[in-house]
Amino acid sequence: MALFGKAHKLLAAGSRATAFRLERLDGGEISLDEISAEGPALLAFFKVSCPVCQLTLPYLERIQTSGRLPVYGISQDDPEDTREFNRRFGISFPMLLDTEESGFPVSNNYGISSVPTLFLVERDGRVSRVVEGWNKLEIEGLGAQAGVNPFRQGESVPDWKAG
Per DSSP, the three-state class of 37 is coil
Name the helix (H) or strand (E) containing 85.
Answer: helix 79-89
For the segment 28-67, what is each residue's pLDDT rounded down to a tens digit? 999 999 999 989 999 999 999 999 999 999 999 999 999 9
Q: Would the pTM of this model clear 0.75, i.e. be above it?
A: yes
Percent of the chain at pLDDT exceeding 90 = 94
Mean of pLDDT values over 93-104:
96
- Domains of the chain as residue ranges with CATH: 38-147 (3.40.30.10)
Phi then psi dihedrals of residue 126, to 5 deg:
-85, 140
